[in-house]
Chain A
Amino acid sequence: MISVRNVSKSFGAQAVLRKVNLEILPGKTTAVVGPSGVGKSVLLKLIMGILEPDEGEILIGGRSITKARSEAEKNDIRASLGVLFQSAALFDSLTVYDNIAFALRERLFLGEREVHPRVCDMLSALSLEEVAFLLPQQISMATRKRVGMARSLVTEPKVLLFDEPNTGLDPLTGQEVYDLIRESKEKWGFTGVVISHELPEVFQVSDRVAMILGGRIIMEGSPDDLLNSTEPAVFQFLHGRTDGPIKIQ
């Protein structure tokens, strides 16, 4: 579904990603894990086409977003993506209802007769009816994540990208977000990419795992492969050890 091929990205003199290769399989959820600051979110922004790689190519559904000739072509490819941002990134001047309706109105240019039932379905599916006309700052972070999820799902994307979905949440609320991801995947059947550094919690929504370190994918496989890995860096990261090859920045 998504192919990341030999992608490198630097900011100034700092190389963040070095010839990264990754295959995101259709219908599966892949967790991209690694310590903070190793370039997981940069990889996500490259997939979204918000950042340009220095070299390499990213294909989404067989179409290259990195070699798209215009912003319109990129937008065409982006139409198959939905994103749940770390802080949900809801538009704070719009109500929950308008946030969910946003892409339907502004990207698909649907009229209110088509928008209303689709938004109501989404509000109902994610139990958001009671907060429909509140502003994002009037609801809790967990509810904002649900709204972010609804906003991503309303256009029925083939791929959903999750950037640190439960960062900053307490364990109960974090679990609620994972339950939401699992339930939504069962219902809508999207391909998922979850960026996280929370192990082993993220495994409950992952079919596959890729670990980034030093700008490279150092391990790729099933969650069990990662759990049973004898690779020192994986072991250190998994068990939260301070001694080992990973240096804390």
Chain B
Amino acid sequence: MTAVVATERLGKAVIDIAEGWGRSWIFFIRIIQALVTTPFRWQLFLTQVLQIGVNSSLVICLIGFFTGAVLAVQGEYTLAKFGATAFTGSAVALSLIRELGPVLTALMVIGRAGSAVTAELGIMRITEQIDALRSMAVDPIRYLMVPRFLAGVVTMPLLASLCIVMGIFGGYVVGVGILGLSSGTFMSQMISAVTTTDVASGLIKSVFFGIIFGWVACYKGYTCGFGAVGVNKATTQSVVTASVAVLVIDYFLSSILTRMFME
């Protein structure tokens, strides 16, 4: 009997997961369809760029600066063991451009703006505002999701670039100003180590992270359950799902892009 119940539960869980996956993919396809067929609403898009992008820029500057600063401290400490402190600049820059800039930016934007997008859409769902849109023959995917999704895709690489620039600045301030490294060596090593493919790799990752951000935040908000508990659950799931997805996809993208650019 217990085995039957357990099998039933397992089966139901598998079906629920498969159904959720299917629904989220259909949702994604509908966003892409609306994106390419819509009369584009610039004002809604720019409002979302402001909310997701511009309003996140200060916190991105802060985390970028201090991440660069920490990288300089740790890099100098490690490289000193090999007598290679001259490479601190390149270590800071490569770490930020290829990995930490895009990933930290994505995690920060998901935490700050992704939760806000999910909560906003969730509240619109439970207060029947999304039903009101549909009753007025206005497609919520077109009106609500496309601007948020696209704003995520566009702003993520820009914010990652800002994070990288601030990180290199932070690394420079600490490395040259506090640890006494040579300014010329720091900069020249960095310039010689960083290639166009490193920058492209970081930016490509950011675009994918932007897609994950928009997709997950919009889907979780749009399919939010009832009441305050529903919004709470949707927001938590949105942040956790998107953050984990960013880290998992980061691994695969790193592997693919490294091999691709090495060839």
| Shortest Cβ distance from B47 into A: residue | A93
**Interface hit among A99-107, A218-226, A230-238:** A99-107
A74, A81, A89, A155: the one contacting B127 at CB < 8 Å is: A89
Q: Is the pair B137, A87 in contact by a Cβ cutoff of 8 Å?
A: no
B132, B137, B139, B143: the one contacting A85 at CB < 8 Å is: B132
| Shortest Cβ distance from A71 into B: residue | B139
Instruction: Take A85-B128, A87-B128, A89-B128 as given contacts and tell me if A78 and B139 are in contact as well, using a CB distance cutoff of 8 Å.
Output: no
Q: Return the CB mask of A78-99 against B: 1 if under 8 Å, else 0.
A: 1101110111011110000000
Q: Is the pair B137, A76 in contact by a Cβ cutoff of 8 Å?
A: yes
Instruction: Take A86-B128, A87-B127, A89-B129 as given contacts and tell me if A106 and B135 are in contact as well, using a CB distance cutoff of 8 Å.
Output: no
Q: Return the CB mask of B105-140 against A: 1 if under 8 Å, else 0.
A: 000000000000000000000011101101111110
List the B side residues contacting A76 at CB < 8 Å. Answer: 137
CA distance A92 to B143 in the complex (A): 15
Q: Is the pair B138, A85 in contact by a Cβ cutoff of 8 Å?
A: no
| Shortest Cβ distance from A83 into B: residue | B135
Instruction: Take A86-B128, A87-B128 as given contacts and tell me if A75 and B139 are in contact as well, using a CB distance cutoff of 8 Å.
Output: yes
Q: Is the pair B132, A89 in contact by a Cβ cutoff of 8 Å?
A: yes
Instruction: Take A102-B136, A106-B143 as given contacts and tell me if A48 and B127 are in contact as well, using a CB distance cutoff of 8 Å.
Output: no
CA distance A143 to B248 in the complex (A): 50
List the B side residues contacting A85 at CB < 8 Å. Answer: 128, 131-132
List the A side residues contacting B138 at CB < 8 Å. Answer: 102-103, 106-107
Chain A interface size band reads: 20 to 34
Is A118 an interface position by the 8 A CB rule?
no
From B129, B136, B138, residue with most partner A Cβ within 10 Å: B136
Q: Is the pair A48, B139 in contact by a Cβ cutoff of 8 Å?
A: no
List the B side residues contacting A87 at CB < 8 Å. Answer: 127-128
CA distance A225 to B87 in the complex (A): 91
A81, A86, A91, A92: the one contacting B135 at CB < 8 Å is: A81
Q: How far is the CB of B246 from chain A (nearest CB, A)?
A: 28
List the A side residues contacting B137 at CB < 8 Å. Answer: 74-76, 78-79, 103, 107
Q: How far is the CB of A68 from chain B (nearest CB, A)?
A: 12
Instruction: Take A75-B139, A76-B137 as given contacts and tell me if A92 and B132 are in contact as well, using a CB distance cutoff of 8 Å.
Output: no
Q: How far is the CB of A106 from chain B (nearest CB, A)?
A: 5
A27-68 with Cβ < 8 A to chain B = 45, 48-50
Q: How far is the CB of A173 from chain B (nearest CB, A)?
A: 19
CA distance A90 to B136 in the complex (A): 12
Q: How far is the CB of A85 from chain B (nearest CB, A)?
A: 5
| Shortest Cβ distance from B41 into A: residue | A106
List the A side residues contacting B134 at CB < 8 Å. Answer: 48-50, 78
Q: How far is the CB of A153 from chain B (nearest CB, A)?
A: 12
CA distance A208 to B117 in the complex (A): 44
From B128, B131, B134, B137, residue with most partner A Cβ within 10 Å: B137
From A48, A89, A91, residue with most partner B Cβ within 10 Å: A89
Q: How far is the CB of A37 from chain B (nearest CB, A)?
A: 14
From B128, B129, B132, B143, residue with most partner A Cβ within 10 Å: B132
Q: How far is the CB of A11 from chain B (nearest CB, A)?
A: 12
Q: Is the pair B136, A106 in contact by a Cβ cutoff of 8 Å?
A: yes
List the B side residues contacting A79 at CB < 8 Å. Answer: 137
List the B side residues contacting A102 at CB < 8 Å. Answer: 136, 138
| Shortest Cβ distance from A155 into B: residue | B136
List the A side residues contacting B135 at CB < 8 Å. Answer: 48, 50, 78, 81-83, 161
Which residues on B are within 8 Å of A, measured CB to CB? 127-129, 131-132, 134-139, 143
Query: What are some 14 contacts across the A-B interface (CB < 8 A)?
Result: A45-B131, A48-B134, A48-B135, A71-B139, A76-B137, A78-B134, A82-B135, A85-B128, A89-B128, A89-B129, A91-B129, A92-B127, A102-B136, A103-B136
The 3 closest A-B pairs by CB, nearest first: A75-B137, A89-B128, A89-B132
